[in-house]
Amino acid sequence: MDSATLNKIRSRRSHHKSRLGCKNCKRRRVKCDEKKPSCGNCVNHSIECDFSVSTPTSPSPSPPAASSAHQRYRFRQSKYQTLASPAPNEAQRPGGNSIAVQCDFSANISAMVGISFADLQLFHHYLISTYRTLTDEASDPYDVWSIHIPQWGIAFPSILHLMLALSALHLGHEKPELRHQYVMQANDHFTFGIRSVTTVLSQLNSENCQLIYMSAVMICLVYFGHGPRPGEYLVFSSQGQAEWLVLMRGVRSILATNHDKIFSGVLTPQTDDSIQSVSPELQGELRQHHDRIVELKTFIEIQTAGPEKDLYLSAVGSLPDTFDETYTMRSAGKDGVCLLPMVIGWIYRLPEPFVVLLEKKDPFALVILAQWSILLTYMTSSWLFVGWDQHVIKGIRASLEEEFYNWISWPETVISPRA
């Protein structure tokens, strides 16, 4: 996932250079509006602006080196006032908008780091609730999502911001009346998270590859968590290149050079030996899917020719195994995000020439994708994937000529009752 890839999602605006901006903006290399006592960027990100710190009339001696581990944090007043309002009597206290807290961290953090109450709320919600929606205990024996992600976020800004973005979207799902405000918070953190990843991509190595990989995974999850977007159907779009597909290609590029190192330690893939076969209750349902896939394969063999035919047959030929794996997991009571490796794994493994056919909205490729979209239905128990199954199948229908409608009737039948 190089800089050009990520900038497709969030591009920077050109600006005139100035040497008078605050230190935070200079460090982040963004345009500072130079407003005082706090510039707009610092207000937006709820961090301490050096414009608001009065300049001493005479130089003060540097603090002893031993005190560098004691960093001074301030809770800054958040712009999301309806989400985190100060206590009634706080405004009457001197400096009521900024409460100093002493924290003992040995990490190399700047002397003044702002933490807003709104962000603290998001951090807390992630720790007590959101992480549980991203995995289950059997799939995460090393507590990656509950322990390591928050820890990594302290030292790796992109993970922290993406974690807070996921938490904000989760809160927006739980509290629809406040969804707009939480989505605003999520968008801010998502933008900052992507920019943070962009700055370190050129430094990808064996030491940071796990953190960058998890950042990329979290970017994809945030994209799902935002919900379906008009004209965007994961692997194709009504205009141009699909945004989510850009992100998937980024994940693939990161894995290409550091696969073994990434999937080591706490990220070592785990298998559950207790999950072995499809339950009798689901075997009939699975058999129906297999029968439809066989019919589709026969149709493709008769109706297509040339090099594309092999691509079609390879893609449709990999669907039965993906359905088997998904139904084996469902037989063990697994659904929602637990199915992510199987369902999204099929997209990840597609050869690039077939993906190009999807981007071009090739009808045979879209019909194959329609069969796959059935699996999205079994993920909608997770808030991250609500509505995606119907959104994708509707996008496929809108992109097909009427003569192909019959070949997506089965996916439409499976998906539509779950509206």
What pLDDT does 42 receive?
A: 74
What pLDDT does 38 receive?
A: 80
Q: Residue 87: enclosing H or E segment and its boundaries?
A: none
Residue 251: CA count within 13 A, CB half-sphere:
17
pLDDT tens track for 304-338: 999 999 999 999 999 999 999 999 999 999 999 99
Cα–Cα distance for residue pair 21/31, rounded to 1 Å: 8
Count the Cβ atoms, other than its own, within 10 Å of residue 354: 20
pTM above 0.85, yes or no: no
The stretch 141-153 carries a mean pLDDT of 95
In Å, what is the CA distance from 365 to each residue of 108, 155, 240, 253, 343?
Answer: 51, 43, 17, 24, 17
Cα–Cα distance for residue pair 419/415, rounded to 1 Å: 7
Buried b / exposed e along 198-227 (16+ C-beta atoms within 10 A): bebbeebeeeebbbbbbbbbbbbbbbbbbb
Residue 404: CA count within 13 A, CB half-sphere:
22
Q: Counting Cβ atoms within 10 Å, is residue 94 exposed (0-12), middle (13-18) or buried (19+)?
A: exposed
pLDDT tens track for 155-192: 999 999 999 999 999 999 999 999 999 999 999 999 99
Cα–Cα distance for residue pair 416/285, rounded to 1 Å: 16
**Paired tokens of 321:** 């195994």
CA angle (258 as vertex; 254, 263 as ends), nearest 5: 100
**Paired tokens of 269:** 């893939």
DSSP string spanning 41-53? Answer: HHHHTT---GGGS
Number of separate helices (H) and strands (E) present in the chain:
17, 3
**Paired tokens of 226:** 């935002």
**Cβ atoms 317, 359 nearer than 8 A:** no
Q: Is the peptide bond before 37 cis (omega within 30 degrees of 0)?
A: yes
Count the Cβ atoms, other than its own, within 10 Å of residue 259: 12
**Cβ atoms 333, 138 nearer than 8 A:** no
pLDDT band at 137 (very low <50, low <70, confident <90, very high): confident
CA angle (213 as vertex; 211, 25 as ends), nearest 5: 60
Cα–Cα distance for residue pair 27/405, rounded to 1 Å: 55
Residue 380 has pLDDT above 90, yes or no: yes
Residues 6+ apart with CB under 8 A from 100: 72, 73, 74
Which among 148, 163, 129, 136 has a CA at the least distance from the CA of 267?
148
CA angle (134 as vertex; 128, 137 as ends), nearest 5: 80
**Cβ atoms 37, 51 nearer than 8 A:** yes
Cα–Cα distance for residue pair 63/256, rounded to 1 Å: 46
**Cβ atoms 77, 116 nearer than 8 A:** yes
Compute the mean pLDDT over every residue in the chain, rounded to the nearest whole number.
Answer: 83
pLDDT tens track for 236-245: 999 888 999 9
Residues 6+ apart with CB under 8 A from 315: 350, 354, 365, 368
pLDDT band at 275 (very low <50, low <70, confident <90, very high): confident
**Cβ atoms 37, 54 nearer than 8 A:** no
pLDDT band at 70 (very low <50, low <70, confident <90, very high): very low
What pLDDT does 36 receive?
A: 82
